[in-house]
A and B are shown apart, each in its own frame.
Chain A
Amino acid sequence: MSAAIEINNVEKAFPVKDGNSVVALHDVSLSVPAGEFVSIIGPSGCGKSTLLYIIAGFSSFDSGSVSVNGKPVTGPGTDRGIVFQEYALFPWLTVLGNAMYGLRHRDLSKQEQREIAQQHIKDIGLEGFEHRYPKELSGGMKQRVAIARTLACDPDILLLDEPFGALDSQTREVMQDQLLRIWQETGKTVVMVTHDVGEAVFCSQRLVVMHARPGRVKSEVRVDIDRDRPREQVMVSEEFNEIRNDVWLSVREEVALTARTRR
């Protein structure tokens, strides 16, 4: 199977005051096959969100190459859907209006647009809330709308930037289950940035652990666990906890290192 995302030797520096610059990403290479669920994990400041924004086409990079489905990335595109931690819903549109936003400029009748949007709202469990404004929804519901809005555009690749970081742990687990179900049903490629090790191990097939200052790939971990079991069986299983502990130690090492260099 060909790679959905191909990143080779990417370098990225941010200018700071006094004409200096900070290296955000150094020699980052990553290949994501179509249909894979990959999580990028690491301490804050390791450039994981920057890397995601480069894939999304929001940020530029200084050297190296980034391609999606064989084509170099030059800007945002409908082949890559994004979900942000802060939901980024359009507050002036209702749930239905948000879910229909990406369908407006397609060759679809109003009725078809509405039906597609409604289907995705229903799938994510928000039936009956179509005419609410985002301000009337809880955090978990807002994030569901953001996911429905992105899925309605039917992108090949889902880019998730700490999608559940603002939610309480119970809501977060429900959302992770829902995300896994969507991934299993649609077979989309998913790249998720998170700082939650348990979440990363539970959801993804592969973990990319990043090193901070400058951001680079430290290690990759395959997660071969059987996900056809209910969550409680997965979470107490030996295989899950073994991987979780290893990755947690690896990330912790990075956090400790960053804290030391900061002083």
Chain B
Amino acid sequence: MTSMTTVAPGKSSSLSAKGGRRAGRLVIGVLKYVAPLAILALLWQSLSWLGVLNPKTVPSFFSVVAAVVDLVAEGEIFRHLIVTIYRAELGLALGVVLGVGLGLAMARLRSVYHVSYPLVALTYTLPKTALIPIVFLWLGVGDASSVFVVFIGAFVPIVITTFHGAESVQENLVWSARSMGASSQRVLWTVIFPAALPQILNGVRIAQAFSIVIVISAEMVASYVGVGRFIFVFGEAGNYDYMFAAISIVIAAAFVLDRLFLLLKGRLLRWAETEGASR
């Protein structure tokens, strides 16, 4: 939505003033975001300086920053990061396709619901990471095992949000479509699916965060490449400043992925009443 601004006398000056105000808002927005982190960093560094934190087990903030700079300059981490993101997103994509399919089927077909619901409910609380060793035994060390565990972890929340979204579709939307001659197949794809989309996308967002956690756990258990492996190696060697640095880079990457997803979500849901500022 565009906001109305009162036009000051002199068009050009008001335009630049508007641009200036916008830049000002952006700076304030970034500061609001960064300030709490800066305070935390300062606290962390102070505790290191005061000797409260043992530098052997908890590196100081500045040494972690130095390690980040070193890792980024060297570039090796990005090769691992790309593998990790690929595994997470592929598992997520599989989870979205099959999870949305099952969720919609459960909402529309009683028989599917009765068969799937107990399984889904049980799998919901199952710690997916506990499956990692056995999955490696089945599928071997490599992409397939990591992707599979991520898929399981993403699948369940997406099934649940899709099911609830599809089930809570207003009946009169379905009735309207039926009265206009839509087949039940068409109602499913042109009414129930879009009506459930806001909830589905909330599920996907949560699943994306899970995916990163799961893939890194899997890589820490067994992997030749991937950021999880990278973090594990530094940890084993006692290079905690580099370990924290690698973790920081993962956090930054996950943050960017989440923001990208929110952009996509805002775009897909530009028609929705409640889709204002996305957080």
Contact = CB atoms under 8 A, between A and B. Distances in A.
B191 A76 contact: no
Contact of B182 (A84, A92, A105, A134): A105
Contact of B194 (A81, A82, A92): A92
Contacts of B190: 90, 101
Nearest to B270: A133
Contact of A102 (B170, B180, B270, B273): B180
B39 to A, nearest CB: 39
B179 A92 contact: no
Q: Is the interface of A mostly helix, strand, loop or mixed?
A: loop
Interface residues of A, number: 28
Contacts of A82: 175-176, 179
Contacts of B181: 77-78, 102, 105-106, 153
Interface in A67-86: 75-78, 80-82, 84, 86
Interface in B144-183: 170-173, 175-183
A155 B197 CA distance: 30
Contact of A92 (B170, B171, B180, B197): B197
Contact of A135 (B186, B197, B272): B272
B178 A92 contact: no
B176 A88 contact: yes
Given A91-B272, A92-B271, A105-B186, A84 B179 contact: no
A14 interface: no
Interface residues of B, number: 23
A149 interface: yes
Contact of B191 (A56, A90, A102, A155): A90
Interface string A47-68: 0000000001110000000000
B271 A56 contact: no
A84 B271 contact: no
Contacts of A58: 171, 175, 178
A82 B195 CA distance: 20
Contacts of B197: 92
Contacts of A135: 271-273
Contacts of B179: 56-57, 76-78, 80-82, 150, 153, 155
Given A88-B170, A88-B173, A105-B186, A75 B272 contact: no
Contact of A76 (B173, B175, B271, B273): B175
A93 B176 CA distance: 14
Contact of A75 (B172, B178, B195): B178
B180 A149 contact: yes
Interface string A95-106: 000000110011
Interface string A32-49: 000000000000000000
Given A58-B175, A76-B175, A84-B172, A91 B273 contact: yes
Contact of B175 (A88, A90, A91): A88
Contacts of A134: 271
A56 B194 contact: no
Interface in A129-164: 133-135, 149-150, 153, 155
A157 to B, nearest CB: 10
A133 B182 CA distance: 21
A68 to B, nearest CB: 12
28 contacts: A56-B175, A56-B179, A58-B178, A76-B179, A78-B180, A80-B179, A81-B179, A82-B175, A84-B176, A86-B170, A86-B172, A88-B176, A90-B173, A90-B176, A90-B190, A91-B271, A91-B272, A92-B194, A101-B182, A101-B190, A102-B182, A106-B181, A133-B270, A133-B271, A135-B273, A153-B179, A153-B181, A155-B179
Interface of B: 170-173, 175-183, 186, 190-191, 194-195, 197, 270-273
Interface of A: 56-58, 75-78, 80-82, 84, 86, 88, 90-93, 101-102, 105-106, 133-135, 149-150, 153, 155
Given A84-B172, A88-B176, 11 more contacts: A56-B175, A77-B181, A78-B179, A81-B180, A86-B172, A88-B173, A102-B181, A105-B181, A105-B183, A135-B272, A153-B181
Q: Closest 3 CB pairs between A and B? A: A102-B180, A76-B178, A88-B172
